Structure 1
């Protein structure tokens, strides 16, 4: 079956290489440089412009991604990333603006958009935990077109040819900025927020595309849908949750899924990489979807116990 070339898929996983390819293609890119975590953080802090964002190159999602507004915050963020255990870090100028996700398919190098997700919660740092995705976008047509065309340019710059694409972008007064492009569909359980045609899930659409079916006319079941990735409010040991019945009864909510398990050690960002669970909603408008997700989340009460450090016995 046709798929993205291995070199293109690898470029999607390499933040440094991807930035180089975007710049070579004439796309907007922030100032950036790569460093090893063995280097002097104070020397690197003097090299950075502020505000900036430190991104470990070997981690996915928002794990280890930290904003710094000055040299002292840079050094503190750097030391925190060192403790996570990565080898390389990329330092980028912070890009202000609203953040979006674009979902689509690539056929013979041509990008076909499937959905634009608004992210209504500001992602301004110091950490960048995603919460709510809502589609269709409420942005004006020119902004949506800029997001789609920028994703298409990134697809060409990376050399992606055939298969799913999930992209993260920001938009400000200068236009659309590509953050990351992935040679895969949207992660976790979030794909459940998307249905096409006669309630076809995203995974089925991708498989049909992979075996050569024409899916160029695929369109979202409307009118609006969304997902909330429930963040971990504090570290500790997960015990239980109250209010799932009340959350499920909120108008518009179609599913409440708790993925945290009793006894699980919860680690929030930037060191952690998981969520407490997912909320899904469908309604007549994006505004109603967002409202349903927030109301359902407010009905939940998570019980998280303090995790005690294990003390080693004395040798005395």
Structure 2
């Protein structure tokens, strides 16, 4: 009987399905994470190490190998650990994106530079480290503009500005993101996610041309020279500008076949321009009058804590995490989706104010809403909520997954769940 292959997984996950997948594929799992999941059946070996510290993870991996351990592939579903996985894969000579490619995806200024050089549509972008640099960039690009951290996630700090006063406020907000351990509102406190998503030596402020148009998310798996689409998610509701907190996703896309092909071609061109060769990607773009413009290229599958992959599976029958793991194992990127995708989608439910959650009204009734097929809790009784946009983008207390015969049924299910499931606060 052949020996099981061993997967090094960097970081645990709030989504246990991700860690079940390797075992379902017959893999042994070496998990490098500061805290292991409570369910120890999800992994075989735990390397207790800070998953965001590449030197510490490398030392732990070398020690594991030095004591007779084996590693046949490296993977992560965690944005903040992408550079760690790339470094280890490179050192061990295993399939994966190079550290240079990961840097080009995580550092959004580098992303813009590489895409522009390759002729791939993307907003005109500058990086500033002082307000005088930001003001000069604004004068060059013209308002309106979007300011965002050079490298982060979850739309933290991202703000649309219309004049110099707003420019100054957004610039100060972003430059102040990295130091606080937590954000406060009176007695309530939540951790600062910048400590999870910040990227080393990329803490400037992006000054970016604002581009109008509907926004889409394209998820892909790629390896061995092939780039395969998992799904396109439409974002059917406009952002509540000047902030860009994510809302509902719906798939399959309502765009024409030619427009969808244009999005996919643009995503593939972007990945190639950034040097992405093996892995998964979640590419966000806007379809403008001038064609698609890349907003960002995430070097991992979309929404592995959210319901992006589950929405794709409900729609196409393809489980993206499995296909990503096959790619890093060096297997062919080949899978078959349903000929006729099923309408599916998901939506975050956002708290309406700061406070301490006592309970959730409608927690049992929400699964009776027609079309709702899943709830993932992102908060629990006793947790604090701090509404402080844009520096703290985290106010989601639950995610809702829905399926229907039509898009309208999916969106109706998501809207119905939002009316039923409501946080109740201690005060």
Quick check: TM above 0.5?
Answer: yes
SS of the residue corresponding to residue 84 of structure 1 reads: coil
- 2:405 maps to which residue? 284
Q: Distance in 2 between matches of 1:305 and 1:245?
A: 20
- 1:208 maps to which residue? 326
Q: 2:270 aligns with which of 149, 154, 161?
A: 154
Q: Please, what is the CA RMSD of the aligned residues?
A: 2.3
Q: 2:171 aligns with which of 72, 75, 78?
A: 78
Deviation for aligned residue 1:145: 1.1
- 2:144 maps to which residue? 51
Note if 1:97 corresponds to 2:213.
Answer: yes
Q: Superposed, which structure 2 residues align to 1:192-203 within 5 Å? A: 192-195=310-313, 201-203=319-321
Deviation for aligned residue 1:50: 0.7
Is contact 1:129-1:231 (8 Å) kept? no
- 1:311 maps to which residue? none
Change (3 A) 1:165 1:53: same
**More contact order relative to length (CA 8 Å, sep ≥ 6):** 1
Change (3 A) 1:4 1:40: closer
Change (3 A) 1:34 1:169: same
Is contact 1:12-1:18 (8 Å) kept? yes
Deviation for aligned residue 1:272: 1.9
Note if 1:18 corresponds to 2:111.
Answer: yes
TM-score after normalising by structure 1:
0.89
Q: Distance in 1 between matches of 2:116 and 2:133?
A: 27
Deviation for aligned residue 1:25: 0.3
1:79-109 deviation digits (Å, cap 9, x = unpaired): 2223323741000010101000001111234
Q: Distance in 1 between matches of 2:406 and 2:106?
A: 35
SS of the residue corresponding to residue 139 of structure 1 reads: coil
Is contact 2:351-2:423 (8 Å) kept? no
Q: 2:121 aligns with which of 28, 53, 60?
A: 28
TM-score after normalising by structure 2:
0.67
- What are the ranges of 5 or more consecutive residues in structure 1 without an aligned counterpart? 307-316
Is contact 1:37-1:82 (8 Å) kept? no
Q: Distance in 1 between matches of 2:281 and 2:212?
A: 24
Count, aligned residues: 306
Is contact 2:316-2:341 (8 Å) kept? no
1:39-87 deviation digits (Å, cap 9, x = unpaired): 5765665455111000111321201100001122111222222332374
- 2:18 maps to which residue? none
Is contact 1:252-1:292 (8 Å) kept? yes
- What are the ranges of 5 or more consecutive residues in structure 2 without an aligned counterpart? 1-93, 180-202
